[in-house]
């Protein structure tokens, strides 16, 4: 075998090896992406299930005083207070986790431990490059103390829109939480809310995913 033939064989072998390496890399990348999507979808389904149950079961007692908690309420760029249930703390800048919204529900007829009050919000965990948004569930124990439990990680933001019936009650109009009035004679108020639309923006590694669900109040 001549020197030219040897060099030609080496070049061809290198090309085949490079092509095989690139193919393996692309296969590994595709498998990683699919695995990340499966994990994100599975975790999101569980999170949406928890939020959906809280929204659908929200209700207040008949004849309850005006000072009692609303059955559902959301707030823009916020998180629930860690001192008192049914209150929010507005967050700005990086602390807002991409201007993520928060909401709570109240089920006056649910007497189980941690059952009557539920709030969902996003909070950033970690440092520097390892920062990650986590969806938390806030509940209240038998002694009235508030506690936060992680539901899922890899959350970039949670955005909420509120559905209220239009003037003819024929369709729902989707509004931002800041457009709903806490009380008074102005319309619409939180007592008029019939549904919440929740969008989760997720990312695991370099794999992004956006999911949206609409939940109607039953009561």
Q: Spell 114-136 as b/e; 16+ CB within 10 A means b.
A: eebbbbbbbbbeeeeeeeebbbb
Of residues 213, 198, 122, 121, the one with CA closest to residue 162 = 198
Q: Is 94 exposed, middle or buried (0-12, 13-18, 19+ CB in 10 A)?
A: exposed
Instruction: List the pLDDT tens digit at each of the 219 positions of the chain.
Output: 565 655 556 656 566 556 566 666 566 677 778 899 999 999 999 999 999 999 999 988 776 665 556 899 999 999 999 999 889 999 998 889 999 999 999 988 876 655 689 999 999 987 766 778 999 999 988 888 899 999 999 999 999 999 999 877 779 999 999 999 887 788 899 989 999 999 999 999 889 999 999 999 987
Of residues 162, 159, 137, 155, the one with CA closest to residue 85 = 137
The beta-strand segments (E) located in 98-183 are: 102-106, 117-125, 132-140, 146-152, 155-165, 172-175
CA distance 108 to 86: 13
85-to-75, 93, 150, 152, 184 alpha-carbon distances in Å: 14, 24, 18, 22, 21
CA distance 136 to 21: 42
Phi, psi dihedrals of residue 73, rounded to the nearest 5°: -160, 145
Both tokens of 37, joined, read 């999507």
CA distance 206 to 105: 33
185-190 contact pairs (CB < 8 A, 24+): 188/164, 190/70, 190/72, 190/73
Phi, psi dihedrals of residue 89, rounded to the nearest 5°: -120, 120
User: What was the pLDDT predicted at 69?
Assistant: 62
User: What was the pLDDT predicted at 73?
Assistant: 94
User: What was the pLDDT predicted at 110?
Assistant: 77
Kindly report the pTM of this predicted structure: 0.83
Q: Locate tokens 């039953």: which residue?
A: 218
User: What was the pLDDT predicted at 143?
Assistant: 83
* Residue 183 zone, left/alpha/beta (φ > 0; ψ -120 to 50; rest): beta
């Amino acid at each position: 075998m001549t020197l030219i033939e040897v060099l030609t064989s080496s070049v061809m072998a290198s090309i085949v090896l490079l092509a095989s390496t690139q193919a393996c890399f692309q296969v590994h990348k595709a498998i990683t992406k699919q695995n990340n999507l499966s994990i994100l979808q599975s975790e999101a389904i569980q999170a949406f299930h928890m939020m959906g149950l809280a929204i659908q079961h929200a209700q207040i007692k008949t004849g309850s005083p005006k000072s009692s908690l609303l059955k559902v309420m959301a707030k823009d760029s916020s998180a629930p207070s860690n001192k008192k249930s049914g209150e929010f703390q507005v967050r700005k800048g990086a602390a807002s986790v991409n201007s993520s919204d928060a909401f709570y529900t109240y089920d006056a007829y649910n007497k189980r431990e941690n059952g009557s009050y539920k709030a969902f919000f996003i909070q950033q965990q970690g440092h520097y490059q390892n920062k990650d948004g986590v969806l938390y569930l806030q509940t209240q124990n038998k002694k009235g103390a508030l506690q936060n439990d992680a539901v899922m990680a890899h959350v970039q933001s949670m955005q909420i829109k509120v559905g209220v019936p239009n003037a003819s009650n024929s369709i729902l109009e989707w509004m931002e939480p800041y457009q709903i009035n806490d009380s008074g004679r102005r319309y619409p108020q939180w007592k008029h809310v019939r549904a919440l639309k929740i969008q989760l923006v997720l990312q695991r590694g370099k794999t992004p995913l956006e999911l949206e669900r609409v939940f109607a109040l039953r009561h």
